[in-house]
Amino acid sequence: MRKYYCILSLIVLLMLIFTIIPSWGAMKVDVGISTHAGWWSQAAADNEMQKLADLVKGKVNDVQIFPQAKQGELATWVQKHTGDKQIDILILCGQFPNTIYKPGNAQPDGSIAEKFLEDGNMILNTGDYMFYVVDGAGTNATGGLANMMDIPGISMWDDDTPIKITADGKKYVPTLVDYSTDRPWHLNELVAPWKAEIIFGQNAAGTRAEPAVILDEKTQGRLVTFYQTAGQDADPRAKAISEFIINWVPTIAGKIAVDQNGKLSATWGQIKSEF
């Protein structure tokens, strides 16, 4: 009887998935991209981010691109994706928009960006030092990252740090090859509840990392960096970041919501465990 019930439940679940989810295989994840570039050319940022959007369309629920002139609309997007009960991804191109974090660390706590992060969402940066630059100047300096993580003194220095791609990097982001980063994560400076969730590239000593996902175990917010490099327009950002989103993000966004009112959700593991 129990097995019959489980089979029936599986059939109902499959029917709901095919009728409610708009495109099979799309994650319930929205992606917002701010194209305002720091440390690489605006033309390259515009081109790479459009390529990225094209590569992940159909793999995620929705992708929106916000150029510098639409940073107000970006702030609205960030606010709407705070508290929506799903993992969403905000991608920055080396500039921290002043519409979501006040320049010069004028609001060290409670910014729109911090609320988004602490809601269990993800912020991914490529280009200049994460959260350091706003409106083309280093106004936030190291305080931007320190405030967003609540870790005084955390930094991202070390120009030309050689990075060797890890087994996880080769598995999830096959485009990655060994390279040098200018602004890696300092793993020794991470303080609980922050930890390195997965490392795709690291230095020989294992003290510096990029690309990497840094997880706040308390809020489930995640900070990610790819190619924080100076003036390197040719870095394959679109391809690498799209592979990360398509191949790795499903490992943390694996729940399939089959009822838009939140009445029924399950994972394949939960279903199979019933047998």
What are the structural domains, with CATH classification, of the chain?
A: 22-257 (3.40.50)
> Span 227-247, mean pLDDT?
99
62, 23 Cβ separation under 8 angstroms? no
How do residues 106-130 score in pLDDT, each as one tens digit?
999 999 999 999 999 999 999 999 9
Q: Where are the beta strands (DSSP E) in the chain?
A: 27-37, 60-66, 89-93, 122-125, 161-165, 179-181, 185-186, 194-199, 201-202, 208-209, 212-216, 222-225, 256-257, 265-266
pTM: 0.86
- Maximum alpha-carbon separation in the chain: 67
How do residues 139-175 score in pLDDT, each as one tens digit?
999 999 999 999 999 999 999 999 999 999 999 999 9
Q: Which pLDDT value is given to residue 263?
A: 36
Q: Which pLDDT value is given to residue 268?
A: 36
- Hey, what are 58's tokens? 């159909």
> Span 167-195, mean pLDDT?
99
Strand partners of residue 32: 64, 90
Q: Which pLDDT value is given to residue 18?
A: 40
Q: Which pLDDT value is given to residue 98?
A: 98
